[in-house]
Amino acid sequence: MLQQRSIISQIFSKNMLLCLYTGFCSGLPYFLWAQLLPAWFTKSGLDIKLIAGFTLTSLPYTWKFLWAALLDRYALPFLGRRRGWIFVVQVLLITIMACYGLLDPHQDILMIVGMSIALTFLSATQDIVIDAYRREILSDEELGLGNSIHVYAYRIAGLIPGGLSLFLADHYAWQSVFLITASFLLPCLFVTFIAREPKSLPVDRNQPFYMAFVAPFKEFFQRKGIASAVGLIAFIFLYKLGDSLATSLQTPFIMSMGYSLSDIAAVVKLTSFWASLAGGIIGGIAMIKIGVNRALWLFGLVQLITILGFAYLASFEHFDTVQLAELIKLGIVITGEYLGVGLGTAAFVAFMARETNPLYTAMQLAIFTSLSALPSKLLGAYTGHIVTWLGYYPFFWICFFLAIPGMICLIWVAPWNEKSKEN
């Protein structure tokens, strides 16, 4: 049993170290899109409505299940079914990330939008394969800890585009900033090349082509039943909604409060590092002891409460001068956010992975993660209008109340005392 092994031996096993790799690979391009690009736009003087509307370029993350079945069915002729796709996608991601600095947000916005759609498509494709890869190397007992470490590494990746890169942007040209940021994906490329390929169930290519898309849906509804399947889908829609919306304009919000890019790099990313570290360790160990279901309840509650930290900070409206007290306020709010979001995401991802069938790992996990992102991505495009109309303080309270329905769904999809799937 996993519980009988020492915590240290569990954390530093080969599989868990590979989870560090999958998290960092997945997080770096996403945080470049989510944090560095909005900071670039804000620094360049683009309108907040345009910046919020730019979130629509993330729709490939939402619709990735449309091509996930192809990644289950077909393999490239090198490195194996999973690593071959990961390697090719990472090469293309590095190229696009490095080329942003050649453009100007005012003159080349259409080109930037096109590149960003390509970036999110490739990043979503990498997520599909990496999620399937991680699920295939982890046993059911390792899912909680493995996904906690993955989320931890995912958050750590945010230190690069959302921390180091922002600091560099105050001192160097954007071309150098994007080039340096892209270079951090090179070690991932090396690990992809040398890592072991997981064993997977053989794919029946004698089936009609359309069955690659139909079979995962059919199996899911047959296994769960219509009512349970619909309830699970509703939960996946709602569990991260409030939290995702609250963080969708994080960088522009913090900058609007009067903080500089250097403040964000120094305070936000330093505190998020330790909060992510604590969240990853606490979350992984807790899920070993209490199971995924109870973790969803406890971590979801923390995730819900930490949204109010942004409302508290927004209540000050603007700091004319940023002193130590203001930096401490920011640090406390971001620490709570990263701890809450990290814990909630770790349990949520473990839950979704647990609900997949090994025959359709990539497709079903892509469907679940796409469903979880759909509401926030669609509504995220209008957050700028809400903020312009109401301001940040009411906006964060709206996010808080939108997070409650997902917690209510836990009564049906993850009962507190249900242990049959967790022991």
Q: Residue ranges per domain, the chain?
A: 2-413
DSSP label of 202:
P
Cβ(344)–Cβ(141) below 8 Å: no
pLDDT > 70 in the chain, percent: 88
Q: Which residue has the tokens 């295939």?
A: 136
Please give the structure tokens belonging to residue 145: 């800890």
Confidence of residue 67 (pLDDT cuts 50, 70, 90): confident
Q: Is 242 helix (H, G, I), strand (E, B) or coil?
A: helix
How confident is the model at residue 122, as a pLDDT? 94
What is the residue-wise DSSP string for 336-398?
Answer: HHHHHHHHHHHHHHHHHHHTS-GGGHHHHHHHHHHHHHHHHHHHHTTHHHHHHHH-HHHHHHH
How confident is the model at residue 57, as a pLDDT? 83
How confident is the model at residue 184, as a pLDDT? 92
Query: 386-406, pLDDT tens digit by residue?
Result: 888 888 888 899 889 988 988
Cβ(212)–Cβ(73) below 8 Å: yes
Average pLDDT over residues 233-249: 83
How confident is the model at residue 199, as a pLDDT? 73
pLDDT at 53 over 90: no
How confident is the model at residue 91, as a pLDDT? 94
Q: Which residue has the tokens 């989870």?
A: 19
Average pLDDT, the chain: 80
Q: Which of 201, 74, 200, 65 is nearest to 137 (CA)?
A: 200
pLDDT at 216 over 70: yes
Length, in residues, of the chain: 423
Query: 2-26, pLDDT tens digit by residue?
Result: 444 555 566 667 777 888 888 889 8
Average pLDDT over residues 145-157: 78
Confidence of residue 422 (pLDDT cuts 50, 70, 90): very low
How confident is the model at residue 420, as a pLDDT? 45
**Sequence-distant (≥ 6) Cβ neighbours of residue 172 within 8 angstroms:** none
Please give the structure tokens belonging to residue 160: 């690069």
Confidence of residue 140 (pLDDT cuts 50, 70, 90): low
pLDDT at 89 over 80: yes
How confident is the model at residue 97, as a pLDDT? 92
Q: When comparing pLDDT for 142 and 301, which is higher?
A: 301
Query: 269-298, pLDDT tens digit by residue?
Result: 677 767 766 776 777 777 777 888 888 898
Would you tell me how many other CB atoms lie within 10 Å of the CB of residue 320? Answer: 6
Q: Measured between alpha carbons, how far is 339 from 109 in angstroms, rounded to an integer?
A: 35
Architecture label for domain 2-413: Up-down Bundle (1.20)
Q: Measured between alpha carbons, how far is 145 from 136 in angstroms, rounded to an integer?
A: 15
pLDDT > 90 in the chain, percent: 8
Q: Whole-structure pTM over 0.85, yes or no? A: no
